[in-house]
Structure 1
Amino acid sequence: MVLPSCVRGGRLSSRAADVAMTHLVTAVVVVSTLVQMASGREPPVRAAISWALIGIGCGALYFRRRRPVAVAVITLLACGIYYPVSVTDGPALAAFALALYTLAAEGHFTVSVALAAVTLLTVGFGEVVMNSGHRRIDDVSVAMLAGWLISLVAIGRAQRTRLAYLHEAEQRALAAEREQEARARQSATEERLRIARELHDILGHSISLINVQSSATLHRLSKKPEYPVALAAAEEALKAVKATSKEALRELRGTLGVLRQADEAAPTAPTSGLDRLTELVERARSTGIDVRVRTEGGSRPLPPPVDLAAYRIVQESLTNVTRHARARSALVTIAYGDTDIRLRIDDDGQGADEGAALRPHALTGACSRPGLSGSGIRGMAERAKAFGGELTAGNTADGFRVEARLPLKPSLS
């Protein structure tokens, strides 16, 4: 069921609340005035003026939220005329009291204090000057009126402060919620990119090797060699495809393990790292490229995340060499430093188009080396950047070079 707008959310709307409060104050003033008039005699003219002033003062309360200053002034003037004119002192001042409270609650603190002071001065002036020799209000009543007016202004001010605090708290809660949602979206995006990078490196490398090996074997078989030679070539190719696909499945299972639920068994296969570099190089050599490895600084265990990132960078670089470079040889250099590890992969194949080198400050750019306009080099650069390192790629005098630096104590971003 849809609630009416005046009570939606379990609370009256501001307009409905104003109407209800206006009716309540009007009812109190009217009933009290009728009771007092019944016990005394009110001249008809004065009675008509009194009721008109009561109607003006109480009716103005309907606009107390939209025009708080005007309503407070109108009710004060109505009361200032009503009490000297009326024979019976009814509770018409209740309308001004509500208007004064609303004025302070709406933020017009200075005006509310000024009107309260004017009220006290007017009452004092009337008692001293207008009613000399006959006081209608004693000192206790004046003190009570002063305390009453001060209390109304103070309560209105406190209500204003409370509402401002609640509004600020609500805005902070909304901002925190939006920030949390943004962080959740960012985390989900980063996780998707990380998984996409892993799958690209695993499947891209393995499928590229399989494609190169199959193409080379088909090319040899297209020359129609003798049966023993053809059989040996096919057997060699199938063994290489089997080994490459087996390694791809192993790494794929390891990567998909991060998507498993907590109650499922996680894979126990070791994470890829530079200790598996020999296998990676052998698979690249099976495509006919002479791949050599050179180590500088003495190899040592690396932090697992850095070890995996280094392995993936070498893997993707060799994938690009086998797929696009048309190279005869490649050299992988691994330099272990005190605070970082540096990787360099050189090949003697065709380089990138002129001006297509990937610079450290352009990590999201794509290299236009044939076949490398996708996510290969960009993914390597993102890996290096994620660990606080950097990666560059570009032509050399003899071919193409990829260089990367990874801190041993990465500041993950």
Structure 2
Amino acid sequence: MKRPHWFDFTLPLAVIVVQVWGSAGAQNAQVHPGDPNSRIPLDALGFSLLAAGPVGLLVRRTRPVVALCVAAVATCVYVGAGYSYGPVFASPIIALFNAVQTGHRRAAWSVAGAVYLFFVCYTTWLVPAHQGWLHQASIGAIILVVLTAAEMARARREERAERERVGEEEARRQASEERLTMAQELHDVLGHSISLIHVQASTALHLIDEHPEQARTALATIKQASKDGLTEMRSVLGVLRDGAPRSPTAGLDQLDELVARAGPDVTMETAGDPRPLPPGVERAAYRIIQESLTNVTKHAPGARATVTITYGAEELSVRVADGGSTGPGALADENGGNGIPGMRERAAALGGSLTAHALPAGFLVEALLPIPPVAGDEPSEDTE
């Protein structure tokens, strides 16, 4: 969490107050005139050293190693000059913790080692009452506790940052997948509608002089196809609005409308026991049928086509077969598109398969999509 800028000045000021006020109080129990082991009373130099360490904390964000060195040197000079022990160690502890947190671990451990060596030498040879190994071990333990706490805090912060980074990458990946899904949905919607409009417009132009009533029927089909295409496109683009569903809404419940738009030469059959299916399976089945009927409109106009939906125990079969056309398709002169590869990708994304091949008369598209088994039909383990 990012701290406010005023905290950069408040913390050093608070540490100055604690070190000066606490050290002034601590010297009452450590300054004994005439005692060779007495600490010396605070003077201008002592107060300056007490303030120097906290002042160095002002640059702890931009120059953490400089802040650590200033605090460590000021503390060592203060103790080496003979002033009383007390909260003077607050500033180097904060600076040491900050250096580890900001990634300057080598400098932190090096300065900590140098401070420890200073205290070992000072308490062993430079004070009248020499201290033993237990005192030196206590100093080392305190320094290690500070460093360990800093390392643990740094590790937790890095772990939290890594989780946030992974979460952001996952969100970007999901957003990218949603954009690809919407692009594919738009391709299918527009491809189907425009192909149908193209074919019907060609039919209307061909019949408008000799058979105006049939041309009127083709124009009515164009009107309805354009209206339905716009409605479905708005539905797909609706996922961009706040609070809208995060997936397009095409499903098997709209198949009747799709088949009706395709014309009287298309029939639909259902086998098995219909049941609710996962939205992804319904959407894939709908788009596969839509793209297959679009291909019939493009390449075999007027051909009779049959759409067969079979609900199996663990898979949904989608079959679209047409009987072929006696004349060239209205869009036969166009290059092949991505219709069949796109359908195959939809099926494969769900763990299914799709085959598309020519028949002796016509064309067949068949997809097998895995679906959850019927409740009560799951295989059970035999007990011995």
| 1:368-387 equivalence runs, <5 A | 369=333, 381-387=337-343
Change (3 A) 1:89 1:332: closer
Identity %: 12
Change (3 A) 1:115 1:404: farther
Q: Which of these residues, 116, 119, 127, is aligned with residue 112 of structure 2?
A: 116
Query: In the aligned structure 2, how far is the partner of 1:157 from the partner of 1:195?
Result: 56
The answer to whether residue 270 in structure 2 is matched with residue 314 in structure 1 is no
Query: In the aligned structure 1, how far is the partner of 2:113 from the partner of 2:343?
Result: 69
Query: In the aligned structure 2, how far is the partner of 1:350 from the partner of 1:238?
Result: 22
Question: What letter is aligned with 1:105?
Answer: Q
Q: Could you tell me which residue of structure 2 aligns to residue 105 of structure 1?
A: 101
Maintained 8 Å contact 2:192/2:290: no
Change (3 A) 1:253 1:141: same
Question: What letter is aligned with 2:155?
Answer: T
Maintained 8 Å contact 1:50/1:86: no
Q: Could you tell me which residue of structure 2 aligns to residue 129 of structure 1?
A: 125
Query: In the aligned structure 1, how far is the partner of 2:289 from the partner of 2:103?
Result: 63
Cα deviation for residue 48 of structure 1 reads 2.2
Aligned positions, number: 311
Structure 2: gaps (5+ residues): 34-38, 237-244, 272-284, 307-317, 345-353, 371-384
Report the 3-state secondary structure (helix = DSSP H, G, I; strand = E; otherwise coil) of the residue aligned with 1:86: coil
Query: In the aligned structure 2, how far is the partner of 1:304 from the partner of 1:77?
Result: 75
Query: In the aligned structure 2, how far is the partner of 1:79 from the partner of 1:267?
Result: 79
Cα deviation for residue 89 of structure 1 reads 2.8
Q: What's the Cα RMSD here?
A: 4.7
Q: Could you tell me which residue of structure 1 aligns to residue 208 of structure 2?
A: 214
Change (3 A) 1:92 1:408: closer
Instruction: Identify which range, 122-131 or 148-157, moves more after superposition.
Output: 122-131
Structure 1: gaps (5+ residues): 1-8, 218-236, 281-299, 320-329, 353-366, 393-402
Q: Could you tell me which residue of structure 2 aligns to residue 224 of structure 1?
A: none
The answer to whether residue 179 in structure 2 is matched with residue 172 in structure 1 is no
Change (3 A) 1:245 1:92: same
Instruction: Identify which range, 203-212 or 107-116, moves more after superposition.
Output: 107-116
| 1:236-255 equivalence runs, <5 A | 237-244=211-218
Report the 3-state secondary structure (helix = DSSP H, G, I; strand = E; otherwise coil) of the residue aligned with 1:387: helix
Report the 3-state secondary structure (helix = DSSP H, G, I; strand = E; otherwise coil) of the residue aligned with 1:316: helix
Question: What letter is aligned with 1:169?
Answer: R
Cα deviation for residue 346 of structure 1 reads 8.0
- The TM-score with structure 1 as length reference comes to 0.59
Maintained 8 Å contact 1:199/1:252: yes
Q: Could you tell me which residue of structure 2 aligns to residue 231 of structure 1?
A: none
| 1:29-108 equivalence runs, <5 A | 29-37=19-27, 40=31, 47-108=43-104
Cα deviation for residue 277 of structure 1 reads 8.7
Instruction: Identify which range, 15-24 or 148-157, moves more after superposition.
Output: 15-24
Cα deviation for residue 150 of structure 1 reads 0.8
Change (3 A) 1:331 1:125: closer
Query: In the aligned structure 2, how far is the partner of 1:207 from the partner of 1:126?
Result: 99
Query: In the aligned structure 2, how far is the partner of 1:192 from the partner of 1:333?
Result: 24
Change (3 A) 1:173 1:333: closer
Query: In the aligned structure 1, how far is the partner of 2:124 from the partner of 2:303?
Result: 108
Change (3 A) 1:345 1:58: same
Cα deviation for residue 345 of structure 1 reads 6.8
